[in-house]
Amino acid sequence: MSGSSELAAPAPAAPARGALEGLRVIDLSRVLAGPLCTQMLADQGADVIKVEPPGGDETRTLGPPVNDDGDAAYFTAVNRGKRAIGLDLSQAAGRDVLLTLLADADVLIENFIPGTMARWGLDYEADLKHRYPQLIYCAISGFGDDGPLGGLPGYDAILQAMCGLMSVNGDPASGPTRIGIPIVDHLTGYTALSGILLALYHRARTGQGQRVEVTLFDTALSLLVPHAANWMHTQRAPGLLGSAHPNIAPYDRFACQDGAIFLGVVNDRQFRRFCDYAGLTALLEDPRFATNRSRLEHCDALRGAIENALSDRPRDAVCRDLMRLGVPAGPVNSVPEAFEQAHTAHRGMRIDKDGYHGIGTPVRLSRAPARVDRLPPAYAQHTDEVLREAGLVDSQIAALREQGILPRWPPSKP
């Protein structure tokens, strides 16, 4: 140091580490719920190894549209951040490779039909629990292992129908209608993520792994708030409400001059502000609309008055003005309009990177931000790399490939 007053330059800040950095996840799942869960783990820094069967994850072929590698956009939506290997688990040598990978894994996630893993000698309780006592094993299925529907395959739309979601979605003209996104699969992915994180916290305290079970059936039923509670208290079955709410009015879609908006008034203060803005102050003196309960009882008359007041007003101006007044309102946007909003870019909810286009992560950690470091993998892209890390030498890898244990892509056709 040339002088006592000089200060050393501050060291450059180290890049933030992901919250789950160092976590190793073996992902045997495919389609949506499981891959979405593991993508969220990967976004937060986990090393996710996607293990695909000889035919690949079905979503690779669910297109068009497809990317330059021929993988469907559907696949790319839930598989970024992962390393991929191909492995034939129907063969004993393939299962041996999986067991080798589990030696330093923290989490295994699978969504096979119940009984599949046991048939392969990979049952958690009988085969894996004692061999890998710290392993967290997450099983996703349609209905679980047992019970009247145990072991049956589950699909999002079927669960929407069976669990009452369709019965409250739609209007009398459309009849019961499937919700336009695979909402049961989506929430099941988030539920699996929650279960895995709970199990990791428990392991940090006890040193013990455990089995986490998540079913589409349970998840679909859990979505019935407040409809199930309303029925349990009244014994009146909920019906089709269109876009309306069973407990709140006005809480519905309304037409403006150039498109529809959704108006969500949840208390009397907001209702007064809305009426003042819309020129409907006469409603404030009408006992039919004095409280939310009375507004619900006279919702048809209320709807007519609001439609008349908004029909000649531009939707964007209405939404802007009402939101500034503290009255929740938003335009009914198309998917392109939703992603073209300035706030979407501000929140980083669209990712465009090296030809990849995806939805951003909805969770933000101030000290461990999510990162997109790996694009969705090509089939078996990282097989040799992962197996070398697990201790296999090139001659062993070549022998497994020759035996068909490590399948190639695209799969050979009969």
Looking at residue 16, what is its pLDDT? 66
Looking at residue 414, what is its pLDDT? 37
**Buried-exposed string 146-178: b where 16+ CB fall within 10 A, e elsewhere:** eeeeeeeebebebbbebbbbbbbbbeeeeebbb
Q: Which residues are catalytic?
A: 185
What's the sign of the alpha-carbon dihedral 47, 52, 57, 61?
positive
Where does residue 45 fall: left (phi above 0), alpha (psi -120 to 50 degrees), or beta otherwise? left
* Alpha-helical runs (H) found in 44-142: 73-77, 92-102, 116-119
State CA 26 to chain mean position distance.
19
Where does residue 23 fall: left (phi above 0), alpha (psi -120 to 50 degrees), or beta otherwise? beta
Q: Decide: residue 336, CB within 10 A, 0-12 exposed, 13-18 middle, 19+ buried.
A: exposed
Radius of gyration of the chain measured on its C-alpha atoms: 26
Average pLDDT, the chain: 94
Looking at residue 8, what is its pLDDT? 56
- How many angstroms separate the CA atoms of 414 and 221, rounded? 42
> Residues 174-224: pLDDT tens digits?
999 999 999 999 999 999 999 999 999 999 999 999 999 999 999 999 999
Q: Decide: residue 141, CB within 10 A, 0-12 exposed, 13-18 middle, 19+ buried.
A: buried
> Residues 118-138: pLDDT tens digits?
999 999 999 999 999 999 999
In the structure, what pLDDT confidence band is assigned to residue 397 with cuts at 50, 70 and 90? very high
Task: Report all structural domains of the chain as residue ranges with CATH numbers, in order of start.
Answer: 24-223+360-402 (3.40.50.10540), 251-333 (3.30.1540.10)
* Alpha-helical runs (H) found in 139-226: 156-162, 183-206, 216-222
CB atoms within 10 A of CB 30: 24
Query: Which residues does 376 contact at the CB level (< 8 Å), separation at least 6?
Result: 71, 75, 76, 79, 80, 82, 356
Contact between 303 and 237 under an 8 Å Cβ cutoff? The reply is no
> Residues 35-79: pLDDT tens digits?
999 999 999 999 999 999 999 999 999 999 999 889 999 999 999
